[in-house]
A and B are shown apart, each in its own frame.
Chain A
Amino acid sequence: MEKFVVTTNVKVNNHIPNDLVLSILSKLPIKSLNRFACVCKSWTLLFKIPHFLIMYHNYFLSNNHSYYDGTSILLNDSLVHLTNELDEPLHSTLYLLSGDRLENRIKLDWPPPFHEDDSCIHILSYVAVNGTLCFTHDIGMYAKCVFWNPATDKFKVIPPNPFEFVPYHNTLLQPRGFGYDHERDDYKVIRQLVFFVDDNIDVPCEEPIYFSPMWEIYSIRSNSWRKLDVDMPYSSACDELYMDGVYHWWSINDYSSLSNVGPCLVSFDLCNEVFLTTPFP
């Protein structure tokens, strides 16, 4: 048998190699990580390390047994006027509720693109995907669409699409769903464009041209909108749910779809960019 020399003078000290530190930090809640950004310079850059982001993401997904453990809730308080006294501007306020009984309430500032106009802000899909939210204005012809990560306070304004602007028409932008494509590590938004002839302009032709409503999809990787070749039923109702890369909504009375499927549940898969409908029972 071989003989081994056993060295006893190797000192195991407390200095932890970087990869082990990352492995510990990836198991911390976002609040602790934000606080520990003040530990040293390299720790402020954690969320810029792709390897760390993947570790953090994987751990979060594999341990998310309970949706309520250590969870905080975002409360979006939108003021809605029921009367016509519209002198007062409408404000939306965002609160972060945390604690076992959600007793801690912190008011959050909207990201800068909404500082001028914080009326009727809507959280698309009512969901945070890997910590990222997508905000839009609920109403308005040119609804602004902004990604925001409240933990890192980074935001991104989604650029407009040249398709939005059709001569002699007003375009109603209806942002529908926001979600994550895990195959391409991409964040996507779908919306529908509806075109109305602008009555205030003299259209230089006898019969106004009719443009049928159009679906399009935004991907953060390409940073652009792309037309979706689908005829999906739309619904303005708020019954919607995003889960595991698929965005679902009730379509009860859809007037814009040509297929006229009737009341149904529409499910759009953000990875494959296909939809399916499930009729009401």
Chain B
Amino acid sequence: MAAEKSSIKIITLIAADGSVFEVEPNIVKEMKTVQSYIDELDQNTVSIPLPNVFGNDLAMIIEYCKKHASEEETKEAKEEFDFEFVKRMKSDDKLRLLQAASYLNMESFLQFMAKAIAAEIENQSVEFVRDYFQIESDFTPEEEAELRKENEWAFK
């Protein structure tokens, strides 16, 4: 390789399903897991496997990063993008992307997804939330009835 050290031009990310994404270094800055890997290498091309992230999800994350790394985009345009970005997702997508954000150690994207999920469940029932997070109730019916009575105002 003829290029100088530490001047990586293209980073290749390989998703769990084998799909390959080529991105510029500024796109992965937000992905601390990837970035720390790059920092340790003395190569000008890098290929990084991400066995915990699926291709579809990675595509979305890269799309998000591109938009947010862009200096030309206005704050309003980014907000508009965020809104549409969440709107087209199903519940499962959000949960998977949240986990991907955690795995890639992307703090602001993680907070963004957590907020999107919070907004989705905010006005939902207890049953909905159990189903959403696949949580089994560990209360006896009596305990639950008692607790519901205590927090009655929150059910109105």
User: Which residue of B99, B110, B121, B151 contacts A38 across the interface (Cβ within 8 Å)?
Assistant: B151
* Residues on the A chain within 8 Å of B119, using CB: 27
Closest B residue to A11 by CB, please name it. Answer: B16
Minimum CB–CB distance for B127 against chain A, Å: 9
Of the four ranges (under 10, 10 to 19, 20 to 34, 35 or more), the interface on chain B belongs to 35 or more
B114 to A20, Cβ gap below 8 A?
yes
Chain A contacts for B147, CB-based, 8 A:
37-38, 44
Instruction: Return the contact of B17 from the options A8, A20, A27, A31 (Cβ within 8 A).
Output: A8
B138 touches A41 (CB 8 A): yes
Known: A36-B129, A39-B129. A24 touches B151 (CB 8 A): no
Which listed residue, A6, A12, A19, A24, touches B117 by the CB 8 Å rule?
Answer: A24
Residue A61 CB within 8 A of the other chain: no
Chain B residues in 8 Å Cβ range of A5: 49
Tell me the chain A residues, 1-45 only, with Cβ under 8 Å from chain B. 1-2, 4-8, 10, 12, 14-17, 19-21, 23-29, 31-41, 44
B111 and A28 form a contact (CB under 8 A): no
In the complex with contacts A28-B121, A35-B154, A40-B136 CB distance below 8 A: yes
Smallest CB separation, A30 vs chain B (Å): 8
CB distance from B42 to the nearest CB of A (A): 13
How distant is the Cα of A204 from the Cα of B152 in the complex, in angstroms? 59
B21 adjacent to chain A (CB < 8 Å): no
**B103: shortest Cβ distance to chain A, in Å?**
9
Please count how many residues in chain A sit with their CB below 8 Å of the partner chain's CB atoms: 39
- CA gap between A6 and B49 in the complex, in Å: 7
Contacts of B2 in A (CB 8 A): none
List residues of B whose CB falls within 8 A of some A CB.
14, 16-18, 43, 45, 47-49, 51-54, 92, 95-96, 98-100, 102, 110-111, 114-115, 117-119, 121-123, 125-126, 129-130, 133-139, 144, 147-148, 150-151, 153-156
Q: Report which A residues bind B (CB closer than 8 A).
A: 1-2, 4-8, 10, 12, 14-17, 19-21, 23-29, 31-41, 44, 96, 104, 106, 153
Q: Contacts A23-B111, A38-B144 given; 5 further ones with Cβ under 8 A? A: A23-B110, A23-B114, A24-B114, A39-B129, A40-B138
